[in-house]
Amino acid sequence: MSLQIISIILGSLTLASALMVVLSKHPVRSVIYLVVTFFFITSMYIMMNAQFLAIVNMIVYAGAIMVLFLFVLMLLNLNKEVEPTTTIGAQFAAFIAGGSLFLVLITALKETLILGQSYRHQDNQIGLVKELGNLLFTKYVVAFELTSILFIAAMVGAILLAKREKQIIE
Amino acid sequence: MDTALLIEKSILVVLLFLISLGAAAYMTYFERKLAAWIQDRVGPDRAGPFGILQPIADGVKMFLKEDFIPAKADKWLFIIGPGLAMFTALITSAVVPWGPKLHLFGRDISLQVADINIGILYVFGVLSVGVYGIMIGGWASNNKYSLYGAIRASSQMISYELAMGVSAITIVLISGSLSLNDIVAQQSGVWNVLYQPVAFLIFFICALAELNRAPFDLPECESELVGGYHTEYSSMKLGLYLFSEYTSMFVSSAIMAILFFGGYNFPGMSYFSGNTLAILGIGAFAIKIFLFIFVIMWIRWTIPRFRFDQLMHLGWKTLLPLALINLLITGLVIAFKNGWF
């Protein structure tokens, strides 16, 4: 019962901070609200006894990616005057694009509800490092390795893009 | 939930909080005395015998100074910044095993607030979030020197986190666990530093960079950036920034002692048992932490500051490849020992 109350409170706080990301006027504040949102998501993983996912979410999203976001935003001089004005057409296009992404995500996540049932009745150790590692390197090893190849390809691509112009350092 | 356990943990948390703050306060005194000794001066000697009350005088001074917020600053973020820095510096100590189990009032008391089985990842998680205090404070000041300090701090911390993480993975490979408690318990015989001297060296250098300590103290490089990210800060807000640096120095010395120097283990510990062992273990751990702090301070007053491109060069082109090669060799040796070839 108390668990349910906690998850309701956490859920509403997550939604509130996620809304603040969109509603706050200043980009830097948006990023900070996004960091707060990631922390609430981390706490949800902990509620589900998924310690490893929780901490990875904290390191990768709240730690690394958001720091880079903040880093870039701090270097931009974001004043009210230089803010580009969006036309009605652009706003409409953004609405359509965002809405269709939302629809795709909803349909994709609907399937995971059914998939998740097969793990529910086991003991709730699935989120701990040992069980997750065993599962990743036995049952899902092909998917896991393919993902890592994809990541390496993306990394090499990013480095190539950054180094396209011949630079002389030193 | 066991009420006695709850009380026990609350006492431990409060005690840890006080010890971290006290240690940080006296580290400032120790640093000044050490600097004086290295530079052939006397150092603080006015407040109390040998100047032993100097940290208290400093604290009072910090509280009594005018608390100033610049007109163009982002007020809330300016206030949150130092608090965040202090918060992240303090919470790492929750997963540190400070000693063997203590037997008091008919109960076995574990000297670790939370024995989570991902302890080492928790440390890295807190570390990666630790940069926000400096970044937010530096940006909210609305001062170009503060901004430069914040940018330097964040890029430096992102760069050195990688090599640090990779060198810590070798320890995880050796001990087969992410829990700090297990890692310490496994070093009762041979300390990890003997297996992994290269990883230790990389980890130590990266820790210096993460702490923003000299020779990597570019975020507050006074000859270029006035005061770096805390240029605009005054009063206890500045105090919190300075304090958080010493607190994280204390905690990261503890982490290094745990990962590479056996934590509370000491030679000849099989001759003791029970509470004597626990107290001696805490003592040994404290001595190791003290030695690490001493070495970090010694480096500050010996080695001149790096240039920023040298810093990036060292992090990305020297330490990271070295850490990766070290990881590869460790993995191969472990695979060979397990008979995979």
Shortest CA gap A64–chain B (Å): 7
One-letter amino acid identity for A48?
Answer: M
Q: Which of B76, B91, B118, B155 to mutate to test the interface with A (most CBs of A within 10 A)?
A: B118
Sequence spans of domains, chain A: 1-79
Q: Compute the distance between CA of residue B316 and CA of residue A98 in angstroms, rounded to an integer.
A: 38
pLDDT of B59 above 90: no
Contact at 8 Å (CB) between B229 and B138? Answer: yes
Q: Which numeric CATH code is attached to A1-79?
A: 1.20.120.1200
Using an 8 Å CB-CB cutoff, list chain A residues near B150.
74
Q: What is the pLDDT of residue A117?
A: 64
Give bridge partners of residue B102 from the DSSP assignment.
B109
Nearest to residue B248, comparing CAs of B276, B197, B208, B198?
B208
SS3 (DSSP) at B102: strand
Q: What is the mean pLDDT of chain B?
A: 84
Q: Compute the distance between CA of residue B328 and CA of residue B199 in angstroms, rounded to an integer.
A: 12
Q: Compute the distance between CA of residue B182 and CA of residue B117 in angstroms, rounded to an integer.
A: 9
For A31, nearest residue in chain B (alpha carbons): B136
Per the listing, tokens 């805490």 go with B282
Q: Compute the distance between CA of residue B278 and CA of residue B191 in angstroms, rounded to an integer.
A: 19
Q: What is the pLDDT of residue B100?
A: 78
Check if A156 contacts B (Cβ < 8 Å).
no
pLDDT of A121 above 60: no
Segments forming the whole domain that contains residue B121: 3-337
One-letter amino acid identity for A135?
Answer: L
Check if A53 contacts B (Cβ < 8 Å).
no
Cα dist from B91 to A36, A74, B110, B173, whole Å: 17, 27, 18, 26
Element (DSSP H or E) covering residue B104: strand B102-104
Q: What is the pLDDT of residue A16?
A: 92
Q: What is the pLDDT of residue A83?
A: 60
The structural domain count of chain B equals 1
pTM: 0.84
